[in-house]
Structure 1
Amino acid sequence: MRLYIKYDGIVACRVILQEQLELLEIDYKLLELGEIEISNSVTKERLAQLQEALNKYAIFIVSNEKSQLIQKIKDAIVEMVYEKDKLPSVTISQYLSDKLNFSYGYITNIFSEYTYTSIENFIIIQKIERAKKLIIEDELTLTEVSYKLNYSSVAYLSSQFKKVTGLTPSAFKRIVDKRRSLSN
Protein backbone atom coordinates (compact mmCIF):
# COMPACT_ATOMS: atom_id res chain seq x y z
CA MET A 1 0.00 0.00 0.00
CA ARG A 2 1.23 3.48 -0.82
CA LEU A 3 0.14 6.55 1.14
CA TYR A 4 0.39 10.09 -0.13
CA ILE A 5 1.10 12.65 2.53
CA LYS A 6 0.47 16.37 2.39
CA TYR A 7 2.24 18.39 5.03
CA ASP A 8 3.26 21.93 5.85
CA GLY A 9 6.98 21.93 6.64
CA ILE A 10 6.76 25.17 8.58
CA VAL A 11 4.02 23.87 10.87
CA ALA A 12 5.81 20.53 11.27
CA CYS A 13 9.02 22.31 12.29
CA ARG A 14 7.18 24.46 14.84
CA VAL A 15 5.54 21.38 16.41
CA ILE A 16 8.86 19.53 16.60
CA LEU A 17 10.50 22.55 18.26
CA GLN A 18 7.67 22.89 20.77
CA GLU A 19 7.77 19.19 21.64
CA GLN A 20 11.54 19.13 22.14
CA LEU A 21 11.67 22.37 24.14
CA GLU A 22 8.86 21.17 26.41
CA LEU A 23 10.50 17.75 26.80
CA LEU A 24 13.65 19.48 28.07
CA GLU A 25 11.54 21.83 30.21
CA ILE A 26 12.92 24.95 28.55
CA ASP A 27 10.70 28.04 28.85
CA TYR A 28 10.39 29.60 25.41
CA LYS A 29 8.38 31.79 23.12
CA LEU A 30 8.18 31.08 19.38
CA LEU A 31 8.81 34.28 17.47
CA GLU A 32 9.03 34.58 13.71
CA LEU A 33 9.94 31.67 11.50
CA GLY A 34 13.27 30.28 12.70
CA GLU A 35 13.45 32.31 15.94
CA ILE A 36 12.85 31.26 19.52
CA GLU A 37 13.20 33.39 22.61
CA ILE A 38 14.40 31.44 25.65
CA SER A 39 12.78 32.89 28.78
CA ASN A 40 15.32 31.71 31.38
CA SER A 41 19.01 30.89 31.38
CA VAL A 42 19.88 27.53 29.87
CA THR A 43 23.06 25.60 30.54
CA LYS A 44 25.42 24.61 27.74
CA GLU A 45 24.61 20.98 28.52
CA ARG A 46 20.87 21.61 28.08
CA LEU A 47 21.49 23.41 24.77
CA ALA A 48 23.63 20.46 23.65
CA GLN A 49 20.76 18.11 24.55
CA LEU A 50 18.36 20.29 22.57
CA GLN A 51 20.68 20.30 19.55
CA GLU A 52 21.09 16.53 19.76
CA ALA A 53 17.29 16.07 19.91
CA LEU A 54 16.78 18.40 16.93
CA ASN A 55 19.56 16.81 14.83
CA LYS A 56 17.42 13.79 13.95
CA TYR A 57 14.92 16.18 12.31
CA ALA A 58 17.69 18.08 10.46
CA ILE A 59 16.98 21.18 12.57
CA PHE A 60 20.07 23.05 13.73
CA ILE A 61 20.76 25.87 16.16
CA VAL A 62 22.58 28.65 14.29
CA SER A 63 25.09 30.54 16.41
CA ASN A 64 27.21 32.58 13.95
CA GLU A 65 25.69 36.06 13.29
CA LYS A 66 26.19 35.93 9.52
CA SER A 67 24.76 32.41 9.39
CA GLN A 68 21.78 33.70 11.37
CA LEU A 69 21.25 36.47 8.82
CA ILE A 70 21.49 33.98 5.93
CA GLN A 71 18.86 31.82 7.66
CA LYS A 72 16.64 34.86 8.24
CA ILE A 73 16.91 35.76 4.55
CA LYS A 74 15.97 32.21 3.53
CA ASP A 75 13.12 32.12 6.06
CA ALA A 76 11.78 35.48 4.85
CA ILE A 77 11.81 34.26 1.24
CA VAL A 78 10.15 30.94 2.12
CA GLU A 79 7.56 32.78 4.20
CA MET A 80 6.92 35.19 1.32
CA VAL A 81 6.58 32.42 -1.27
CA TYR A 82 4.66 29.84 0.78
CA GLU A 83 2.67 31.59 3.48
CA LYS A 84 1.05 34.32 1.47
CA ASP A 85 -2.02 33.54 -0.60
CA LYS A 86 -0.50 35.78 -3.23
CA LEU A 87 3.02 37.18 -3.23
CA PRO A 88 3.31 40.79 -2.03
CA SER A 89 3.06 43.50 -4.65
CA VAL A 90 6.13 45.37 -3.34
CA THR A 91 9.45 44.50 -4.89
CA ILE A 92 11.34 41.61 -3.35
CA SER A 93 14.22 43.94 -2.53
CA GLN A 94 11.88 46.25 -0.61
CA TYR A 95 10.18 43.31 1.15
CA LEU A 96 13.50 41.85 2.35
CA SER A 97 14.97 45.23 3.33
CA ASP A 98 11.87 46.10 5.37
CA LYS A 99 11.64 42.66 6.97
CA LEU A 100 15.32 42.36 7.91
CA ASN A 101 16.22 46.04 8.49
CA PHE A 102 19.27 45.95 6.24
CA SER A 103 19.92 47.49 2.83
CA TYR A 104 19.20 45.14 -0.04
CA GLY A 105 22.79 45.55 -1.28
CA TYR A 106 24.15 44.29 2.03
CA ILE A 107 21.65 41.41 2.11
CA THR A 108 22.52 40.25 -1.42
CA ASN A 109 26.27 40.50 -0.83
CA ILE A 110 26.15 38.45 2.38
CA PHE A 111 23.77 35.91 0.85
CA SER A 112 25.83 35.26 -2.28
CA GLU A 113 29.11 35.26 -0.33
CA TYR A 114 27.91 32.46 1.96
CA THR A 115 25.57 30.45 -0.27
CA TYR A 116 27.39 30.82 -3.61
CA THR A 117 24.12 31.68 -5.30
CA SER A 118 22.06 34.82 -5.69
CA ILE A 119 18.90 35.72 -3.82
CA GLU A 120 17.12 35.87 -7.17
CA ASN A 121 18.16 32.28 -7.93
CA PHE A 122 16.99 31.12 -4.49
CA ILE A 123 13.64 32.87 -5.01
CA ILE A 124 13.16 31.29 -8.43
CA ILE A 125 13.83 27.82 -6.98
CA GLN A 126 11.34 28.45 -4.15
CA LYS A 127 8.71 29.78 -6.56
CA ILE A 128 9.09 26.76 -8.83
CA GLU A 129 8.80 24.40 -5.84
CA ARG A 130 5.60 26.22 -4.83
CA ALA A 131 4.35 26.06 -8.43
CA LYS A 132 4.88 22.28 -8.40
CA LYS A 133 2.89 22.01 -5.15
CA LEU A 134 0.09 24.19 -6.53
CA ILE A 135 -0.09 22.13 -9.72
CA ILE A 136 -0.11 18.82 -7.83
CA GLU A 137 -2.12 19.55 -4.70
CA ASP A 138 -4.45 22.38 -5.60
CA GLU A 139 -4.76 21.37 -9.24
CA LEU A 140 -4.67 24.99 -10.33
CA THR A 141 -4.33 26.08 -13.94
CA LEU A 142 -1.04 27.58 -15.04
CA THR A 143 -2.75 30.96 -15.31
CA GLU A 144 -3.85 30.72 -11.66
CA VAL A 145 -0.38 29.56 -10.56
CA SER A 146 1.38 32.36 -12.44
CA TYR A 147 -1.00 34.91 -10.87
CA LYS A 148 -0.43 33.55 -7.33
CA LEU A 149 3.33 33.68 -7.78
CA ASN A 150 3.37 37.17 -9.39
CA TYR A 151 4.65 36.03 -12.78
CA SER A 152 3.98 38.54 -15.55
CA SER A 153 2.77 35.75 -17.83
CA VAL A 154 2.27 32.01 -18.09
CA ALA A 155 5.05 31.94 -20.67
CA TYR A 156 7.53 33.42 -18.17
CA LEU A 157 6.50 30.90 -15.49
CA SER A 158 6.82 28.06 -18.02
CA SER A 159 10.26 29.27 -19.11
CA GLN A 160 11.58 29.41 -15.51
CA PHE A 161 9.89 26.10 -14.66
CA LYS A 162 11.65 24.38 -17.58
CA LYS A 163 14.99 26.00 -16.70
CA VAL A 164 14.81 24.69 -13.11
CA THR A 165 13.18 21.27 -13.63
CA GLY A 166 14.03 20.41 -17.23
CA LEU A 167 10.29 19.94 -17.90
CA THR A 168 7.49 22.19 -19.00
CA PRO A 169 4.72 22.56 -16.40
CA SER A 170 2.38 20.60 -18.70
CA ALA A 171 4.84 17.70 -19.01
CA PHE A 172 5.32 17.77 -15.23
CA LYS A 173 1.55 17.55 -14.68
CA ARG A 174 1.24 14.68 -17.19
CA ILE A 175 3.96 12.72 -15.35
CA VAL A 176 2.26 13.30 -11.98
CA ASP A 177 -1.13 12.30 -13.39
CA LYS A 178 0.36 9.17 -15.00
CA ARG A 179 2.03 8.11 -11.72
CA ARG A 180 -1.22 8.66 -9.84
CA SER A 181 -3.17 6.52 -12.29
CA LEU A 182 -0.57 3.75 -12.17
CA SER A 183 -0.60 3.65 -8.38
CA ASN A 184 -4.40 3.44 -8.17
Structure 2
Amino acid sequence: MKAFIKFDINIVTKKLLEDLLKPFNIKFRVIGFGEIEFLENVSQPKIDEITSILNEYGIEIIENQKSILVQKIKDTITEMVNSEEPLSVKSSVYLADKLNHSYGYLSNLFSEVTYTSIENYIIIQKIELAKNLIINNQLTLTEIAFKLNYSSVAHLSTQFKNITGITPSAFQRILMKRREMSIKNL
Protein backbone atom coordinates (compact mmCIF):
# COMPACT_ATOMS: atom_id res chain seq x y z
CA MET A 1 0.00 0.00 0.00
CA LYS A 2 1.26 3.46 -0.85
CA ALA A 3 0.51 6.52 1.21
CA PHE A 4 1.27 10.05 0.15
CA ILE A 5 2.47 12.35 2.90
CA LYS A 6 2.56 16.10 3.20
CA PHE A 7 4.94 17.80 5.59
CA ASP A 8 6.38 21.17 6.50
CA ILE A 9 10.14 20.97 5.98
CA ASN A 10 10.73 23.74 8.53
CA ILE A 11 8.94 21.85 11.30
CA VAL A 12 10.58 18.54 10.38
CA THR A 13 14.06 20.05 10.33
CA LYS A 14 13.57 21.90 13.63
CA LYS A 15 12.28 18.75 15.37
CA LEU A 16 15.08 16.61 13.92
CA LEU A 17 17.75 19.10 15.05
CA GLU A 18 16.22 19.27 18.53
CA ASP A 19 16.17 15.46 18.80
CA LEU A 20 19.72 15.05 17.47
CA LEU A 21 21.28 17.82 19.59
CA LYS A 22 19.45 16.99 22.84
CA PRO A 23 21.96 14.28 23.94
CA PHE A 24 24.80 16.83 23.75
CA ASN A 25 23.22 19.04 26.44
CA ILE A 26 24.09 22.14 24.43
CA LYS A 27 21.84 25.17 24.57
CA PHE A 28 20.87 26.40 21.12
CA ARG A 29 18.04 28.07 19.30
CA VAL A 30 16.74 27.80 15.77
CA ILE A 31 17.02 31.28 14.26
CA GLY A 32 15.39 30.56 10.95
CA PHE A 33 15.23 28.06 8.16
CA GLY A 34 18.66 26.39 7.99
CA GLU A 35 20.20 28.46 10.75
CA ILE A 36 20.85 27.70 14.42
CA GLU A 37 22.79 29.54 17.10
CA PHE A 38 24.69 27.78 19.86
CA LEU A 39 24.07 29.73 23.07
CA GLU A 40 27.29 28.54 24.69
CA ASN A 41 30.83 27.76 23.62
CA VAL A 42 31.15 24.36 21.98
CA SER A 43 34.50 22.57 21.80
CA GLN A 44 35.85 21.53 18.41
CA PRO A 45 35.69 17.80 19.26
CA LYS A 46 32.00 18.21 20.15
CA ILE A 47 31.39 20.16 16.90
CA ASP A 48 33.09 17.32 15.00
CA GLU A 49 30.87 14.76 16.74
CA ILE A 50 27.73 16.81 16.04
CA THR A 51 28.79 17.25 12.41
CA SER A 52 29.25 13.50 12.04
CA ILE A 53 25.77 12.74 13.41
CA LEU A 54 24.08 15.46 11.34
CA ASN A 55 25.81 14.21 8.17
CA GLU A 56 24.03 10.86 8.59
CA TYR A 57 20.78 12.76 7.99
CA GLY A 58 22.10 14.80 5.08
CA ILE A 59 22.52 17.88 7.26
CA GLU A 60 25.76 19.80 6.87
CA ILE A 61 27.27 22.50 9.06
CA ILE A 62 28.53 25.25 6.78
CA GLU A 63 31.36 27.48 7.96
CA ASN A 64 32.58 29.18 4.77
CA GLN A 65 30.88 32.61 4.35
CA LYS A 66 30.28 32.16 0.62
CA SER A 67 28.76 28.74 1.18
CA ILE A 68 26.59 30.13 3.98
CA LEU A 69 25.18 32.82 1.71
CA VAL A 70 24.61 30.33 -1.12
CA GLN A 71 22.73 28.09 1.31
CA LYS A 72 20.66 31.09 2.40
CA ILE A 73 19.88 31.76 -1.27
CA LYS A 74 18.78 28.14 -1.73
CA ASP A 75 16.69 28.24 1.46
CA THR A 76 15.05 31.51 0.40
CA ILE A 77 14.25 30.06 -3.04
CA THR A 78 12.76 26.95 -1.42
CA GLU A 79 10.68 29.14 0.88
CA MET A 80 9.64 31.32 -2.07
CA VAL A 81 8.66 28.40 -4.32
CA ASN A 82 6.77 26.59 -1.55
CA SER A 83 4.93 29.70 -0.36
CA GLU A 84 1.16 29.45 -0.34
CA GLU A 85 0.89 33.03 -1.59
CA PRO A 86 2.15 33.85 -5.12
CA LEU A 87 4.95 36.42 -5.26
CA SER A 88 3.91 39.95 -6.01
CA VAL A 89 7.46 40.92 -7.07
CA LYS A 90 10.10 39.39 -9.33
CA SER A 91 12.17 36.66 -7.71
CA SER A 92 15.31 38.78 -8.18
CA VAL A 93 13.76 41.62 -6.13
CA TYR A 94 12.48 39.17 -3.51
CA LEU A 95 15.94 37.57 -3.07
CA ALA A 96 17.77 40.91 -2.97
CA ASP A 97 15.34 42.32 -0.37
CA LYS A 98 15.26 39.17 1.75
CA LEU A 99 19.05 38.68 1.80
CA ASN A 100 20.12 42.36 1.86
CA HIS A 101 22.47 42.07 -1.12
CA SER A 102 22.19 43.23 -4.71
CA TYR A 103 20.78 40.59 -7.02
CA GLY A 104 23.87 40.92 -9.24
CA TYR A 105 26.12 39.97 -6.32
CA LEU A 106 23.86 37.07 -5.29
CA SER A 107 23.64 35.82 -8.86
CA ASN A 108 27.41 35.94 -9.45
CA LEU A 109 28.17 34.25 -6.12
CA PHE A 110 25.57 31.53 -6.68
CA SER A 111 26.93 30.75 -10.15
CA GLU A 112 30.53 30.76 -8.87
CA VAL A 113 29.79 28.27 -6.09
CA THR A 114 27.12 26.03 -7.68
CA TYR A 115 28.02 26.23 -11.39
CA THR A 116 24.39 27.00 -12.22
CA SER A 117 22.28 30.13 -12.27
CA ILE A 118 19.74 31.21 -9.68
CA GLU A 119 17.12 31.19 -12.44
CA ASN A 120 17.89 27.56 -13.29
CA TYR A 121 17.80 26.58 -9.61
CA ILE A 122 14.39 28.26 -9.24
CA ILE A 123 13.10 26.36 -12.28
CA ILE A 124 14.38 23.07 -10.86
CA GLN A 125 12.69 23.74 -7.51
CA LYS A 126 9.42 24.71 -9.23
CA ILE A 127 9.46 21.54 -11.34
CA GLU A 128 10.14 19.40 -8.24
CA LEU A 129 7.14 21.00 -6.56
CA ALA A 130 5.07 20.51 -9.73
CA LYS A 131 5.99 16.81 -9.73
CA ASN A 132 4.91 16.50 -6.08
CA LEU A 133 1.64 18.29 -6.81
CA ILE A 134 0.99 15.98 -9.76
CA ILE A 135 1.81 12.94 -7.61
CA ASN A 136 -0.59 14.11 -4.90
CA ASN A 137 -3.22 14.44 -7.63
CA GLN A 138 -4.98 17.35 -5.92
CA LEU A 139 -4.63 20.07 -8.56
CA THR A 140 -5.08 20.32 -12.31
CA LEU A 141 -2.15 21.37 -14.47
CA THR A 142 -3.79 24.78 -14.87
CA GLU A 143 -3.99 25.17 -11.08
CA ILE A 144 -0.38 23.98 -10.70
CA ALA A 145 0.80 26.49 -13.34
CA PHE A 146 -1.05 29.28 -11.52
CA LYS A 147 0.27 28.21 -8.10
CA LEU A 148 3.85 28.21 -9.39
CA ASN A 149 3.47 31.63 -11.04
CA TYR A 150 3.69 30.38 -14.63
CA SER A 151 2.03 32.51 -17.29
CA SER A 152 0.38 29.43 -18.81
CA VAL A 153 0.24 25.65 -18.75
CA ALA A 154 2.30 25.70 -21.96
CA HIS A 155 5.11 27.58 -20.16
CA LEU A 156 5.01 25.06 -17.29
CA SER A 157 4.99 22.17 -19.77
CA THR A 158 8.00 23.52 -21.67
CA GLN A 159 10.09 23.93 -18.52
CA PHE A 160 8.87 20.59 -17.11
CA LYS A 161 9.96 18.81 -20.31
CA ASN A 162 13.31 20.64 -20.39
CA ILE A 163 14.08 19.45 -16.85
CA THR A 164 12.53 15.95 -16.81
CA GLY A 165 12.52 14.97 -20.47
CA ILE A 166 8.75 14.38 -20.49
CA THR A 167 5.67 16.58 -20.39
CA PRO A 168 3.56 16.93 -17.24
CA SER A 169 0.74 15.09 -19.04
CA ALA A 170 3.05 12.17 -19.82
CA PHE A 171 4.19 12.21 -16.18
CA GLN A 172 0.53 12.02 -15.08
CA ARG A 173 -0.14 9.10 -17.45
CA ILE A 174 2.88 7.19 -16.13
CA LEU A 175 1.67 7.72 -12.55
CA MET A 176 -1.85 6.56 -13.42
CA LYS A 177 -0.51 3.40 -15.07
CA ARG A 178 1.71 2.67 -12.06
CA ARG A 179 -1.23 3.17 -9.69
CA GLU A 180 -3.42 0.88 -11.81
CA MET A 181 -0.70 -1.78 -11.86
CA SER A 182 -0.19 -1.57 -8.07
CA ILE A 183 -3.95 -1.91 -7.50
CA LYS A 184 -4.05 -4.96 -9.80
CA ASN A 185 -1.15 -6.51 -7.87
CA LEU A 186 -2.97 -6.24 -4.53
State whether residues 108 and 118 of structure 1, in contact with CA within 8 Å, keep that contact through their aligned partners in structure 2.
yes
Match of 1:107 in 2: 106
**1:65 maps to 2:74:** no
The 5 A counterparts of 1:137-148 are 137-148=136-147
Match of 1:74 in 2: 74
What is the RMSD computed on CA atoms of the aligned residues?
Answer: 1.3
State whether residues 28 and 39 of structure 2, in contact with CA within 8 Å, keep that contact through their aligned partners in structure 1.
yes
**1:183 maps to 2:176:** no
Deviation at 1:36, TM superposition (A): 0.3
Q: Which amino acid aligns with 2:167?
A: T
After superposition, what is the alpha-carbon deviation per residue over 1:92-120, rounded to whole angstroms, capped at 9, x for unaligned?
A: 01110111100000000000011010000
Secondary structure of 1:31's partner? strand
Cα separation, 1, equivalents of 2:126 and 2:152: 14
Structure 1 stretches lacking a partner, 5+ long: none
Q: Which amino acid aligns with 1:81?
A: V
Match of 1:35 in 2: 35
State whether residues 127 and 163 of structure 2, in contact with CA within 8 Å, keep that contact through their aligned partners in structure 1.
yes
Match of 2:133 in 1: 134
Cα separation, 1, equivalents of 2:40 and 2:137: 43
Match of 1:165 in 2: 164
Match of 1:45 in 2: 45
Cα separation, 2, equivalents of 1:157 and 1:10: 26
**1:86 maps to 2:91:** no
Match of 1:19 in 2: 19
State whether residues 107 and 118 of structure 2, in contact with CA within 8 Å, keep that contact through their aligned partners in structure 1.
yes
Secondary structure of 2:32's partner? coil
Q: Normalised by the size of structure 1, how large is the TM-score?
A: 0.94
Cα separation, 2, equivalents of 1:134 and 1:5: 11
State whether residues 4 and 136 of structure 2, in contact with CA within 8 Å, keep that contact through their aligned partners in structure 1.
no
How many residues align? The count is 182
Secondary structure of 1:117's partner? coil
Q: Normalised by the size of structure 2, how large is the TM-score?
A: 0.93
Structure 2 stretches lacking a partner, 5+ long: none
Deviation at 1:87, TM superposition (A): 2.9
The percent identity for this pair of structures is 51
Q: Which amino acid aligns with 1:126?
A: Q
Cα separation, 2, equivalents of 1:97 and 1:140: 31
Cα separation, 1, equivalents of 2:116 and 2:17: 29
Q: Which amino acid aligns with 1:115?
A: T
Deviation at 1:139, TM superposition (A): 2.3
State whether residues 86 and 150 of structure 1, in contact with CA within 8 Å, keep that contact through their aligned partners in structure 2.
no
Match of 2:149 in 1: 150
Cα separation, 2, equivalents of 1:32 and 1:178: 41
State whether residues 146 and 154 of structure 1, in contact with CA within 8 Å, keep that contact through their aligned partners in structure 2.
yes
